[in-house]
Amino acid sequence: MALDKNSKIYVAGHNGLVGSAIWNNLKQRGYTNLVGRSHKELDLTDQYAVKKFFDKEQPDAVVLAAAFVGGIMANMLYRADFIMMNMKIQCNVISEAYAHNAKKLLFLGSTCIYPKNAPQPMKEDCLLTSPLEYTNEEYAIAKIAGLKMCESYNLQYGTNYIAVMPTNLYGPNDNFHLENSHVMPAMMRKVYLAKLIHEGAWDKIAVDMNKRPVEGVTGEGLNSLDSSDSCSSKKEEALRVLAKYGIYDNRVVLWGTGTPLREFLWSEDMADASVHVLLNVNFSDIIGIEKYSSVHYGASTDGAVDRNHSAGRGGYIPGLGEIRNCHINVGTGKELTIRELSELVVKTVGFTGAVEFDASKPDGTMRKLIDVSKLHSLGWTHKVEIEDGVQKLFQWYKNSLR
């Protein structure tokens, strides 16, 4: 189902890491009729507000990149928020997209949907084959529900909703707030701050903490040349709160053993993959267009289905057999250990201190490599390798402090 350059595309979460990259990618391709709303402008957990927005805008396509996200610590602390807020966002946006006849919807999930001990690399078909990783179970369940919503709407109503499951992402507009950031930006900021503490660069620490306060502690009063009691007290407070996150003078303590393997994808690569899927891939392409067209009521050559024929007939089509796992993994198919990642970050930041691992803290899933053969078969492969990506992220972070 083609979207022309004049199609109105709503990007939910357009200010976030993924959404902003998708927004920019669409603009670079000449799609300028884009709609976005900040969280302050539109609370996606508010069903009435979402309906009102769709009533007004009537988008032709929807990219659902908005989510309540965080790392291991946030996932463990805010379990109820992670499942409830994400479920509300997904239910509201997907149901209103259907009610307002959006031609296409792209749902972004996460590879945490897969079982903790899934065979590696993880194929789409390993979904729901064994228990999830406990530390992010609620978020994973919400994302599984989201991809199943897309799959089920397609089967029952003949919609064209595609779900993509990106691996660990990093890039411009990443979240560097220590309380709820993901592994790479958190690690990078910790290493950078430990370096600044050792150098006595309190002016730079002040800029960093003013930009992204830690537990409400800002950089106010942190002057390198000020030796007053007030300034000393401010510095002690800053050191105390940073120490809670493993940041010391020329020393950083990271969670876990450093042995888990992780795959990382540059967010602008993820955006390019997402837009490629949005513009070029239909549900019928994923499950086999010949098989789908021959039995699905009202199927047409562009992958769309006549709603009048499919509405209300139920989701099980005997001629198709069991249709599941229609989502698409998005990643590089490459991995490295958390320790190896820390070594890349240390080298990039120019840190000469010590990096230690606290084995009493959880590692999370030990390995999360995904199989990207389906994505490759649909015509897309990644471009940015991890070594270049870490340097690009640190440069973006330093620029964000100016």
DSSP 313: S
Contact by Cβ (8 Å): 180, 215: no
139 flagged as catalytic: yes
Report the C-alpha gap between 256 and 363 in whole angstroms. 5
Contact by Cβ (8 Å): 21, 73: no
Three-class DSSP labels, the chain: CCCCCCCCEEEECCCCHHHHHHHHHHHHCCCCCEECCCCCCCCCCCHHHHHHHHHHHCCCEEEECCCCCCCHHHHHHCHHHHHHHHHHHHHHHHHHHHHCCCCEEEEECCHHHCCCCCCCCECHHHCCCCCCCHHHHHHHHHHHHHHHHHHHHHHHHCCCEEEEEECEEECCCCCCCCCCCCHHHHHHHHHHHHHHHHHCCHHHHHHHHHHCCECCECCCCCCCCCCCHHHHHHHHHHHHHHHCCCEECCEEEEECCCCCEECEEEHHHHHHHHHHHHHHCCHHHHHCHHHHHHHCCCECCCCCECHHHHCCCCCCCHHHCCCCCCCEEECCCCCEEHHHHHHHHHHHHCCCCEEEEECCCCCCCCECCECCHHHHHCCCCCCCCHHHHHHHHHHHHHHHCC
Contact by Cβ (8 Å): 283, 255: no
Catalytic residue among 10, 31, 98, 139: 139
Give residue 1's identity as a one-letter amino acid code: M
Catalytic residue numbers read: 139
